[in-house]
Amino acid sequence: MVMTRKRAMLWVLLVSIALNLFFIGTIGARLLDRSDRESTPPSLGWILRGLEPQMQDSLRPQLQRYGESIRPMRGQMFRAQREVNRLLAQDPLDDEAIQAAFEELRQINLRYQRVSHEQTLAVLRQLAPEQRSRVLRFLSGRRNPTEDGGGRRSGDDRRRDDDARNGEPN
């Protein structure tokens, strides 16, 4: 079969259209997924991990409301951090202004943490003990980066820790 120039152009066109549709679909899916994640506050999104889809769906409206209420505080934190950065970049350094900016950042951060912790507790109260246990596995998998070389623990390390908590030998 001899491929004519016209047939070759048709194949190039079809491949081009297929690639474009693939990339448009991929980008669209990511945007839809991101909009769903952005409505959940970063301080609470981890709670959904490990929960059944129907429980995630039932909690999502509450998490979205919490996200909307805490979003202004996150904005304040980022603005305060930018102000600290701006002051630290000046020459000469204005120690008094930098200390005041650090204090402002600390106060905003403490308010954010207080509200975030209150929201976390309100959500976790709604979960059954077995669901809380699954959700909290995420937290127990986190490591202090200054201990044991840092990084996430392997599944075996977590099992050993669980065994030790339950009184079982390693």
Q: What is the mean pLDDT of residues 10-23?
A: 85
33, 66, 49: which is closest to 142 by C-alpha? 49
Is the Cβ–Cβ distance between 41 and 69 less than 8 Å? Answer: no
| Rg, C-alpha atoms of the chain | 25
pLDDT at 34 over 60: no
The per-residue pLDDT for range 77-106, each reduced to its tens digit, is 999 999 999 999 999 999 999 999 999 999
For 44, which DSSP code? Answer: T
Percent above pLDDT 90 for the chain = 30
pLDDT at 160: 47
pLDDT at 159 over 70: no
Q: How confident is the model at residue 50 (pLDDT cuts 50, 70, 90)?
A: confident
For 40, which DSSP code? Answer: S
Is the Cβ–Cβ distance between 63 and 40 less than 8 Å? Answer: yes
Give the residue, 144 or 15, on which the prediction is more confident: 15
Residue 80 CB neighbour total at 10 angstroms? 19
Q: Which fold has domain 44-129?
A: Four Helix Bundle (Hemerythrin (Met), subunit A) (1.20.120)
